[in-house]
């Protein structure tokens, strides 16, 4: 009896001390299953640059998170046993200049996975203890899960990572956002290949948990809701829509920045709002992840669309799009593995130029080979 009372008091204390009251910015989301929420995702989140052939975003990871992006998609490649972010063989893109001094990573997060996780993701999450963030890693070189785990440990984000009870979960089996936050396991990572539940349970297999619609769409009237990749049941699994529009340059898909305002819009032909409504109607559930390029195009419309799907009110703002220069040197995404592609770089770096040149080389390769 006394023990029972003590437990009740203790659990009450625990509850009142720890329970999150605002989750991902909204009180209403705390009791909602992680799998019953719509999140905005940044396609090639690290691929930041202006007038850069390799860019998919204008603003860096911290700004993306500040503005409401809650899924960061990135493509990983190996170099000398270490993991870098880019959209093709790193050596061609970066050469040895990938070995940069740490102080630069601290300000730019750069293309090294460890530093992206430590200086962007972890730093931001520490400052925002009531937010759940999702990473989607496209494992282009099929690196072992243990290799990613070493990076997670080095970056100090393993302890804040969520490990599910089983290798795959239906959408409704996910814990609530509030319980993820209360448990301090607020980082959810999906790995596109080589996930090993028995070895590293927090690197969650993407395709048995989240299916995806087609990617590299080049005609704004053909965004589709059909399952392109993934094994999950469309009626009960989480899903991601690849809602970014490409245009073809030398046969390679690159982001169609000119139409990005319309693509990201809340309504209209080819808009994000339209696809979310159509897919939501088809499956009786809205998409969980809305993967977009240049998320700030549309003036916050992508967040408006997610808020509407989540039945909450969007009150945020986004920065203005960074103008592309002159003849609009197109910004590339990639050639590849779907929810992933592209590279990153900050404007003003010689690196950006190198990256652009390399992308041209890659483009030429794919044309001529
Ligand atoms: C997109 O919309 C913004 C205003 O939200 C505007 O400043 C910009 O010029 C538009 N860009 C294009 C390419 O239409
Ligand atoms: C389309 O979206 C814009 C911007 O959010 C909004 O002002 C307008 O009322 C919407 N139109 C329709 C038909 O829903
Ligand atoms: C669709 O794409 C065409 C061709 O690029 C463009 O002219 C049109 O404005 C786009 N419409 C929308 C709604 O994105
Ligand atoms: C969440 O559940 C509501 C109510 O069933 C549903 O309308 C909505 O589409 C769901 N959203 C997601 C992302 O599952």
pTM of the model: 0.83
Q: Which of 26, 43, 77, 243 is catalytic?
A: 43
Residue-wise pLDDT tens digits, 232-273: 999 999 999 999 999 988 888 889 999 999 999 999 999 999
The pair of structure tokens assigned to 18 is 């720890």
Residue-wise pLDDT tens digits, 273-298: 999 999 999 999 999 999 999 999 99
Alpha carbon of 273 to those of 201, 247, 288: distances in Å? 34, 21, 13
Distance 363 CA to ligand 1 centre (A): 28
Which residue's CA is the nearest one to ligand 1's atom 12? 258
Is 126 a member of any domain?
yes
User: Catalytic: 87?
Assistant: yes
Is 11 a member of any domain?
no
Is 361 a member of any domain?
yes
Report the alpha-carbon distance of residue 204 to residue 75 in Å, rounded.
16
- HSE toward the beta carbon, residue 242, CA cutoff 13 A: 27
Helix, strand or coil for residue 349? Answer: coil
Ligand 2 atom closest to Cα of 267?
1
Total Cβ atoms within 10 A of residue 28: 14
Query: Does residue 121 or residue 95 have the better pLDDT?
Result: 121
Q: Determine the average pLDDT of the residues in 29-33.
A: 98
Distance 57 CA to ligand 3 centre (A): 20
> How many domains in the chain?
1
Report the alpha-carbon distance of residue 64 to residue 133 in Å, rounded.
11
Choice among 96-105, 126-135, 338-347 with the minimum mean pLDDT? 338-347
Residue 158's Cβ-count burial label (10 Å; 0-12, 13-18, 19+) is: buried
Question: Tokens 């509850």 label which residue?
Answer: 15
Share of the chain above pLDDT 70, in %: 74
Ligand 1 atom closest to Cα of 298?
5
Report the alpha-carbon distance of residue 51 to residue 55 in Å, rounded.
8
Selection from 39, 285, 34 nearest residue 174 by Cα: 34
239: domain range?
Answer: 22-368
Is 238 a member of any domain?
yes
CATH code, domain with 222: 3.20.20.190
Is 9 a member of any domain?
no
Residue ranges lining ligand 4, Cβ < 6 Å? 36-38, 171, 280, 285-286, 288
User: Catalytic: 112?
Assistant: no
């Amino acid at each position: 009896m006394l023990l029972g009372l003590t437990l009740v008091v203790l659990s009450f204390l625990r509850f009142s001390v720890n329970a999150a009251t605002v989750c991902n910015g909204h009180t209403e989301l705390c009791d909602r299953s992680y799998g019953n929420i719509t999140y905005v995702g940044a396609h090639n989140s690290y691929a930041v640059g202006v007038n850069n052939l390799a860019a998919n975003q204008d603003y860096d990871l911290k700004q993306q998170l500040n503005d409401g992006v809650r899924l960061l998609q990135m493509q990983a490649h190996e170099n000398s046993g270490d993991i870098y972010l880019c959209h093709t063989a790193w050596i061609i893109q970066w050469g040895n200049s990938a070995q940069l001094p740490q102080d630069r990573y601290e300000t730019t997060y750069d293309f090294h996975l460890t530093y992206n996780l430590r200086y962007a993701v972890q730093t931001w999450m520490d400052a925002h203890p009531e937010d759940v963030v999702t990473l989607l890693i496209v494992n282009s070189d099929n690196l072992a899960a243990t290799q990613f785990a070493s990076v997670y440990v080095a970056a100090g984000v393993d302890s804040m990572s969520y490990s599910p009870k089983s290798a795959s979960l239906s959408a409704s089996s996910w814990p609530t956002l509030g319980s993820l936050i209360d448990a301090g396991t607020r980082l959810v990572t999906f790995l596109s290949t080589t996930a090993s539940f028995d070895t590293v349970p927090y690197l969650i297999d993407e395709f048995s948990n989240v299916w995806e619609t087609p990617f590299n769409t080049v005609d704004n009237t053909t965004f589709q809701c059909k399952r392109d990749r993934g094994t999950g049941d469309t009626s009960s699994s989480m899903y991601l829509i690849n809602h970014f529009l490409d245009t073809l340059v030398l046969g390679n898909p690159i982001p169609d920045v000119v139409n990005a305002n319309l693509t990201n819009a809340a309504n209209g032909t080819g808009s994000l709002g339209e696809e979310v409504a159509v897919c939501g109607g088809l499956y009786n559930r809205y998409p969980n992840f809305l993967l977009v390029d240049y998320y700030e195009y549309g003036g916050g419309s992508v967040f408006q669309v997610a808020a509407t799907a989540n039945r909450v009110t969007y009150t945020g703002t986004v920065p203005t799009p960074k103008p592309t220069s002159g003849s609009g040197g197109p910004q590339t995404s990639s050639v590849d593995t779907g929810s992933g592609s592209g590279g990153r770089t900050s404007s003003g770096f010689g690196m950006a130029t190198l990256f652009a040149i390399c992308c041209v080389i890659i483009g030429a390769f794919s044309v001529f080979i």
